[in-house]
A and B are shown apart, each in its own frame.
Chain A
Amino acid sequence: MDWTYLLIVTVKVIVVVVGLLGGFAYMTLVERKVIGRFQLRIGPNQAGPYALLQPIADAIKAVFKEEIIVTHANKVVYMLAPAISVGFALAAFAVIPFGPDIHLFGRTIPLQIADVNIGLLYILAMGGLGTYGLILGGWSSGSNFSLLGAFRTTAQIISYELPMGIFVASVVLGAGTLRLSGFVEAARPWYMWIWLWLSFPFYFTVMLAETNRSPFDLPETENELISGFQTEYGGIKFALFFMAEYINMITASAVMTTVFFGGWRGPFVAQWPLLGVVYFTIKTFILLLLFLWVRASFPRLRYDQLMSFAWKLMLPVSLIYLAITACLVVLV
Chain B
Amino acid sequence: MATLMEISSQPDTAGETESVQRLQQQFPGAILATDNFRGQQAVTVKAERLLDVARFARDALKYDLLMDVTSYDRLQLGEEPRFVGVYELHSVQHNRHLRLCVPVPDDKKPQLPSVTKIWPTANWHEREAYDLMGIRYKGHPDLKRILMPDDWVGHPLRKDYDINREQVPFTVNWGDPEFENMGQQILEPIVPAMEIPDGMDHRHLVINIGPQHPSTHGVLRLITELEGEKVVRVDPDLGYLHSGFEKQGENVRWKDFAYYTDRMDYLSSMSNNLGYVLAVERLLNIEVPPRAQALRVIMAELQRIASHLVALGTAVLDLSGTSMAFLMYAFRERELITDIFEMVSGGRLTLSYMRIGGLADDVPPAFDYKVRQVLEVMPSRIDEYDRMLTRSAIFRGRSVGIGVLPAADAIALGVTGPMLRAAGVPYDLRKLRPYCGYDQYDFDVVTETGADVYARYLVRVNEMRQSLRIIQQALDSLPEGPVNVDNPKIVPPRRELLDQDMEALIHHFKLWTEGMKVPAGSVYSATENPKGILGFFLVSDGSAHPYRLRVRGPSFVNLQALNEMAQGQYVADLIASLGSVDIVLGEVDR
Contact = CB atoms under 8 A, between A and B. Distances in A.
Contact of A222 (B189, B205, B321, B573): B321
A148 B324 contact: no
Contacts of A295: 323-324
A304 B570 contact: yes
Interface in A289-305: 295-305
A38 interface: yes
Contacts of B571: 148, 224-225
Interface stretch (B364-372, B394-402, B502-510): B394-402
Contacts of A298: 320, 324, 392, 394
Interface stretch (A57-65, A159-167, A201-209, A213-221): A213-221
B324 A223 contact: no
Contacts of A71: 189, 191
> Which of B191, B318, B571 is most buried by chain A, counting CB atoms within 10 A of its CB?
B571
B214 interface: yes
Contacts of B214: 222-223, 226
B325 A223 contact: no
A223 B328 contact: no
Nearest to A32: B323
Interface in A76-101: none
A214 B324 CA distance: 9
A303 B570 contact: yes
Interface string B225-267: 0000100000000000000000000000000000000000000
Interface string A121-156: 000000000000000000000001100100000000
Contacts of B573: 302
Given A41-B328, A214-B320, A215-B320, A226 B213 contact: yes
A40 B329 contact: yes
Given A224-B571, A299-B392, A303-B572, A38 B325 contact: yes
A149 to B, nearest CB: 11
A303 B325 contact: no
Contacts of B575: 223-224
A222 B229 CA distance: 16
A295 B323 CA distance: 6
A145 to B, nearest CB: 7
Contact of B394 (A35, A72, A217, A299): A299
B319 interface: yes
Contact of B320 (A38, A148, A300): A300
Given A299-B392, A301-B398, A303-B570, A224 B215 contact: yes
Interface string B424-455: 00000000000000000000000000000000
B577 to A, nearest CB: 12
Contacts of A148: 229, 571
A223 B215 contact: yes
A217 B395 CA distance: 16
B316 interface: yes
A305 B397 CA distance: 8
B322 interface: yes
A197 B341 CA distance: 53
B202 interface: no
A145 B212 CA distance: 13
B3 to A, nearest CB: 28
A41 B571 CA distance: 31
Contacts of B572: 221, 223-224, 302-303
A295 to B, nearest CB: 5
B191 A223 contact: no
B321 A214 contact: yes
A171 to B, nearest CB: 27
Nearest to B388: A297
B207 interface: yes
Contact of A299 (B229, B319, B329): B319
A301 B394 contact: yes
Contacts of A35: 323, 325
A39 interface: yes
> Which of A71, A224, A298, A303 is most buried by chain B, counting CB atoms within 10 A of its CB?
A224
Interface in B397-433: 397-398
A315 B19 CA distance: 65
Interface in B288-326: 316-325
Contacts of B324: 214, 295-299
Contacts of A301: 394, 397-398
Nearest to A223: B215
B343 interface: no
A39 B189 contact: no
Contacts of B329: 39-40
> Which of A71, A148, A299, A302 is most buried by chain B, counting CB atoms within 10 A of its CB?
A299
A222 to B, nearest CB: 5
6 tightest Cβ-Cβ pairs between the two chains A and B: A299-B320, A39-B328, A299-B319, A223-B215, A39-B325, A38-B325
22 contacts: A35-B323, A38-B325, A39-B327, A40-B325, A40-B329, A71-B189, A144-B207, A145-B207, A148-B229, A148-B571, A214-B321, A214-B324, A215-B320, A222-B214, A223-B317, A226-B214, A297-B324, A298-B324, A298-B392, A299-B319, A300-B394, A302-B572
Interface of B: 189, 191, 205, 207, 213-215, 229, 316-325, 327-329, 332, 389, 392, 394-395, 397-398, 570-573, 575
Interface of A: 35, 38-41, 71-72, 144-145, 148, 214-215, 217, 221-226, 295-305
